[in-house]
Amino acid sequence: MKQIQAKILSNRQLQGDYFQLDMCAPEIAQEALPGQFVHVQIPDLEHRVLRRPFSIYDTDPATGRLSLVYKTVGEGTRKLCTIPSDGSLNVIGPNGKGFTIPVDGQKAILVAGGFGCAATFLLAKLATFKPIVLIGGRSKIDILLQKEYTALGCDLRISTDDGSLGHHGLVTDLLREALAEFPNAAVAACGPNPMLKAVAAIAPTAEISLDQPMCCGVGACFACVVKLKADTPDGWRYARSCMEGPVFNATQVWW
């Protein structure tokens, strides 16, 4: 884990409330694994000192490029999208424990809700046997990175709650269908908690990335704890999502 001042290469709107930020961060890009995240200091938020966590979407270790995809939801992300392309950001990473990369020849099904498709992209990139990628969103405007996943050779399937693109319904409908085709596939997922809970019910061996709100991001403050089933007298324990996660085995989580 490194703390660096990263030069921004580009910070541009993808669609709707979604943006892509590319920065030069070779120390992090060369070490990043699928599902890990960076913790970003947002400049000029004097009254709010906490960093904001974002999944590492893509890297180019050769050039040192590190890319994030983010949605503007509050003060920090609204500030982030105004940072000019010649600026810089203080970034800590790569943080946390990511997804298991499928072994050669193993079929994987990646399930993403909204900006969750940023967290699963490196996994699709590194898998030798290209996965089925299921991306769900409320509406067409929430479906991101279609071209990028298709360019990797993934079998991309889309769902929207309002039927404006792809299957009219939930992404978990697509998961049931994909698992009927490939019952032994490894499943990895990132998205809102209700989606992850539904994925866990359908695919108990799935790996899921939890977007647990966090403060320090480096294991010191215990603000991001997740309740896990455990071999303790009470049958559970707390785990720091920033250190033991954000990726957990679905069976481990005490929903």
Residues contributing to the site for ligand FAD (CB under 6 A): 37, 52-55, 68-71, 73-77, 115, 118-119, 211-214, 246
CA distance 178 to 49: 43
For the CB of residue 52, give the shortest distance to ligand FAD in the complex, in Å. 4
Beta carbon nearer to ligand FAD, 97 or 107: 97
For the CB of residue 8, give the shortest distance to ligand FAD in the complex, in Å. 16
Neighbouring residues of 222: CB distance < 8 A, sequence distance ≥ 6: 238, 240
CA distance 243 to 219: 6
For the CB of residue 69, give the shortest distance to ligand FAD in the complex, in Å. 6
For the CB of residue 184, give the shortest distance to ligand FAD in the complex, in Å. 28
Beta carbon nearer to ligand FAD, 178 or 207: 207
Q: Which residue is nearest to ligand FAD (CB)?
A: 74
For the CB of residue 188, give the shortest distance to ligand FAD in the complex, in Å. 14
Beta carbon nearer to ligand FAD, 37 or 99: 37
**Residue 228 bridge partners (DSSP):** 237, 253
**156, two tokens:** 């991309």
Beta carbon nearer to ligand FAD, 57 or 178: 57
The DSSP bridge pattern shows strands 132-137 and 108-113 to be parallel
Q: Are 189 and 207 within 8 A, CB to CB?
A: yes
Dihedral sign (CA 255, 248, 74, 111)? negative
Beta carbon nearer to ligand FAD, 92 or 214: 214
Residue with tokens 């007298």: 233
